[in-house]
Structures are given as C-alpha cells and as structure tokens.
C-alpha cells in the first residue's frame, strides 16, 4: 500500500501562518481541502498521514521548525510521496492554480505534472503550470514532493471558489486523480460498499423489469386463453341427446327428436348450438311443442 503524506500548509497561529483574503485564511483552507483529500485517497487504497488534522493544529511554534518538522515526519514515516497544500496570494489580480517541485526531471516532476494536469480540468481555475522552487518542505523531504497552490486567496473569483465546499472538494479530487495517475492506479470516487450497492440496484432494476415483462406476457397468455375458450364455446355443437348435452335441454330436445321436428343430418347429427338449445327449451316450456 502506497503511503501518501499530506501537508496542509501553515499553522493555525503563531509563526508560519498563511495568506488571507475576503475573510478566508490559507491555513484553514489547506486543512479543509486535506480533510476532503484524505478519505478520497483512502478509498483509492492509499495509506495517509497528515501534518495537521484540524484547523486548530500547529506543527511547531517557530517557522523553521514548522517547515522541517513536516518533512521529518514524512521521512520518518517512510512516505512514498509528499504533497503540501496551499493557497496563493499576490496582488489580487493574479489567479489560477500551479504546482511546485524542486526539479521537473525525475519523480517529483512527474508527480507535479500529473497533479497539475487535473487541477484546472477539475477546478476550472486558470492553468499556471508546473513551476520549480526550493521550498523547505520540498528540499528536506526524501521522497518525491510537491506543493500545490490551489488558487489565489486574495483574488475575488478564486477566493469565492475556495470559500465553497464544492470548490475545496474539486481541489481534493484533482490532487487525488493526479496521485492515482502518478502511481498508475485507476481513480475511484466510490467506496466498495457504494459500488456494491450500485451493482445490486442495477441488477434489481433489471430483474424487476424482466419480472414485469414476464407478468405482462402472463396476462397476454391468459387473455388469449379466455378468448380461445370463448370461441370454442360459441363453436360448440350438440349432436345427440347424451351426457354431453346440458340436463336442462334434454326434455325439450328429446321431445323434438321423438316427434320428428328435429332430424339432424344424414347421420342423425343435430348440430345444435347452445343458443338453439335455449330457444327450444323456452318454447317447449311455453307449450309450443305440445305434450
């Protein structure tokens, strides 16, 4: 399992606090983004350690100690990569995202390129590219290390973006996608459980629709059967006075045959429909055919 050390930039107070703009503080935004990034990385199978877990955390009281301690923690833990999260600040006019590494050649450069590729795509911020700098956290770490300047906290539009939860989530997703790309693993944004339940829902929906079709076919078959039975009934003929003939029709038909009123065909087959049986029976009961 690859180990990713996340370093939310700056301290809550004292030395090494960050930039600010429109009521937002860089040291808070860096933690809020990291708090979104951590579970994303974990869902993607990475082991994560952070230099600051919460907004109120300070890494160390002095500036130099604060910077070296972040690198030392990552080195001691044996992290595979190090990513520091920051917000930029300049003259309120500059805007966009950029990613720093010590050198563009080598693994840190490759990691910086991978993350920076996803940053503008995911966040919609202006692409300021990969840059090099000898920041302490980049030179004192012993693994490929990058520093992501997510957006400008003192620029109005970038600040509004950083101030929203969805904006910070997009920053986290971009960094996670870049890290996955660097390690050559496929980015997943859903947990196993979510994937399982999605698969289950899809299967269930498929099954339900098949059941519905089977149900509809069943109704069709029953309708066809009723129709055929209906046709059979209307086509049914009574040829002889026997056990097939309804008992209620037997006296009238027997009388008609006996008296020679009904003779049937050359073989003596009467070929009577049920309607005819009813008619003869009613007439007989009315006395039309005598005693």
Q: Minimum distance from CB of 20 to Zn ion (Å)?
A: 11
By annotation, the residues acting in catalysis are 149
124: three-class secondary structure by DSSP:
coil
Segments in 107-239 forming alpha helices (H)? 107-123, 136-139, 156-162, 165-183, 192-235
Q: Minimum distance from CB of 18 to Zn ion (Å)?
A: 5
Cα separation values, 184 from 112, 117, 131, 175, 211, Å: 14, 15, 23, 14, 42
Q: Nearer to Zn ion by C-beta: 61 or 197? A: 61
**Bridge partners for 6 per DSSP:** 50, 83
User: Going by C-beta distance under 8 Å and a sequence separation of 6 or more, which residues neighbour residue 74?
Assistant: 5, 7, 49, 51, 82, 141, 142, 143, 145
User: Going by C-beta distance under 8 Å and a sequence separation of 6 or more, which residues neighbour residue 54?
Assistant: 31
Burial 34-44 (b: 16+ CB within 10 A, else e): bbbbbebbebb
Burial 13-25 (b: 16+ CB within 10 A, else e): eebbbbbbbeebb
- By beta carbon distance, the residue nearest Zn ion is 86
Q: Nearer to Zn ion by C-beta: 46 or 152? A: 152
Cα separation, 67 vs 178, in Å, equals: 24
Using CB under 5 A, list all residues that contact Zn ion: 9, 18, 86
Q: Say if CB 83 and CB 5 are below 8 A apart.
A: yes
- Residue that the structure tokens 């940053």 belong to: 119
The token duo for 132 is 């090099």
Q: Minimum distance from CB of 153 to Zn ion (Å)?
A: 9
Q: Minimum distance from CB of 168 to Zn ion (Å)?
A: 15
Q: Minimum distance from CB of 178 to Zn ion (Å)?
A: 19
Q: Nearer to Zn ion by C-beta: 28 or 181? A: 28
Cα separation values, 161 from 89, 102, 158, 257, 260, Å: 14, 28, 5, 101, 104
Q: Minimum distance from CB of 195 to Zn ion (Å)?
A: 36
Q: Nearer to Zn ion by C-beta: 49 or 86? A: 86
Q: Nearer to Zn ion by C-beta: 25 or 38? A: 25
Q: Nearer to Zn ion by C-beta: 67 or 143? A: 67
């Amino acid at each position: 399992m690859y180990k990713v050390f996340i370093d939310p930039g700056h301290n809550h107070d004292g030395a090494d606090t960050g930039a600010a703009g429109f009521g937002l503080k860089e040291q808070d935004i860096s933690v809020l983004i990291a708090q979104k990034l951590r579970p994303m990385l974990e869902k993607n199978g990475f082991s994560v350690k952070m230099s600051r877990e919460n907004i109120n955390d300070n890494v160390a009281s002095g500036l130099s100690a604060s910077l070296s301690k972040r690198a030392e923690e990552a080195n001691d833990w044996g992290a595979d990569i190090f990513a520091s999260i920051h917000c930029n600040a300049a003259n309120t006019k500059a805007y966009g995202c950029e990613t720093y590494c010590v050198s563009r050649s080598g693994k840190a450069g490759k990691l910086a390129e991978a993350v920076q590729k996803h940053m503008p795509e995911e966040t919609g911020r202006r692409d300021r590219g990969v840059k090099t700098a000898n920041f302490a956290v980049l030179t004192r770490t012993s693994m490929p290390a990058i520093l992501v300047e997510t957006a400008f906290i003192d620029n109005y539009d970038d600040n509004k973006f950083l101030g929203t939860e969805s904006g910070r989530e997009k920053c986290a997703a971009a960094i996670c996608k870049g890290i996955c790309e660097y390690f050559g693993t496929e980015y997943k944004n859903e947990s196993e459980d979510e994937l399982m339940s999605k698969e289950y829902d899809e299967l269930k929906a498929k099954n339900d629709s098949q059941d519905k079709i089977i149900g509809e076919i069943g109704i069709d078959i029953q309708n066809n059967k009723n129709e055929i039975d209906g046709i059979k009934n209307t086509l049914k003929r009574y040829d002889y006075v026997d056990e097939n003939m309804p008992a209620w029709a037997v006296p009238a038909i027997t009388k008609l045959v006996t008296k020679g009123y009904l003779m049937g065909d050359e073989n003596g087959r009467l070929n009577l429909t049920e309607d005819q049986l009813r008619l003869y029976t009613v007439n007989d009961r009315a006395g039309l055919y005598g005693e």
